[in-house]
């Protein structure tokens, strides 16, 4: 998606000075930029109930990652959040998600061929709950660009 397609989901966001300011800044040397949407500021807020903010990261002007921050609720285990999150979708059930070692009760990851989804449950009243979705092809492209830049910056030793 382009920023314009994203903003169309939040009527009025196109005129938001903070968003316009972020989008007017040039991308990083690697083609990365980002902007944040707070859905409760716009007419479509009812569609995004319980969501405090969505951060969009762009690579070459297209969304490559987005993170959805929630206002709760508090979950006793991340499995309950994943179960709620996958309701009404074609995403696999919670038993198909991998626990993140050391954070087994809080973080689950679903790895597919082209995307990765992370679901985190935590914080007082669930105020740190989030879902992060990454385009793995875009992530690989960005890693390659950074590696090439490091190679250029580091003189070869012979």
Taking residues 31-57, what's their average pLDDT?
95
Above 70 in pLDDT, residue 103?
A: yes
Spell 38-62 as b/e; 16+ CB within 10 A means b.
bbeebeeeeebeebbbbebbbbeee
pLDDT at 118: 98
The yes-or-no verdict on residue 156 having pLDDT over 80 is: no
d(CA 155, CA 52) in angstroms, rounded, equals 46
What average pLDDT does the segment 12-25 reach?
96
Q: How many CB atoms within 10 Å of residue 104?
A: 13
Question: How many Cα atoms are found within 13 Å in the side-chain-facing hemisphere of 72?
Answer: 5
pLDDT higher than threshold 80 for residue 1: yes
CA distances, 87 to each of 10, 51, 78, 92, 107 (Å): 23, 16, 14, 10, 18
Q: Which residue has the tokens 């003189």?
A: 155
Q: Look at residue 85 in the predicted model and tell me its pLDDT.
A: 96
pLDDT digits (tens, 9 = 90+) for 44-54: 999 999 999 99
Mean pLDDT of the chain: 95
Q: What tokens were used for 92?
A: 């696999």
Per-residue pLDDT band at 89 (split at 50, 70, 90): very high
Q: Tens digits of per-residue pLDDT, 106-146?
A: 999 999 999 999 999 999 999 999 999 999 999 999 999 99
The per-residue pLDDT for 153 is 85
Sequence-separated (6 or more) residues with CB below 8 Å from residue 19: 7, 13, 35, 36, 37
Separation of alpha carbons 63 and 128, rounded Å: 23
Q: Which residues contact 78 (CB under 8 A, 6 or more apart)?
A: 99, 105, 106, 107, 108, 119, 120, 121
Query: What's the whole-model pTM score?
Result: 0.91
Please give the average per-residue pLDDT across 33-57, as a whole number: 95
Question: What percent of the chain lies above the pLDDT cut of 90?
Answer: 94
Question: Which 3 state secondary structure label does DSSP give 78?
Answer: helix
**Residue closest to 137 by CA, chosen among 76, 59, 81, 82:** 59
Is the pLDDT at 29 greater than 80? The verdict is: yes
What would the mean pLDDT of 8-20 be, rounded to a whole number?
Answer: 95
What does the pLDDT read at residue 154? 80
């Amino acid at each position: 998606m382009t920023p314009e397609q994203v903003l169309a989901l939040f009527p009025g966001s196109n005129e938001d000075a903070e968003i316009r300011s972020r989008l007017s800044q040039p991308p990083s040397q690697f083609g990365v930029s980002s902007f944040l949407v707070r859905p409760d500021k716009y007419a479509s807020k009812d569609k995004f109930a319980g969501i405090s903010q969505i951060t969009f990261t762009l690579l070459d002007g297209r969304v490559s990652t987005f993170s959805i921050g929630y206002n709760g609720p508090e979950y006793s285990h991340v499995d309950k959040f994943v179960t709620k999150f996958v309701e009404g979708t074609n995403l696999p059930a919670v038993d198909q998600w991998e626990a993140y070692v050391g954070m087994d009760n809080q973080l689950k990851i679903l790895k597919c061929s082209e995307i990765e989804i992370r679901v985190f449950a935590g914080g007082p009243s669930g105020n740190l709950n989030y879902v992060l979705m990454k385009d793995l092809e875009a992530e690989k492209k960005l890693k390659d660009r950074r590696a090439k830049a490091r190679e250029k910056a580091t003189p070869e030793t012979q």
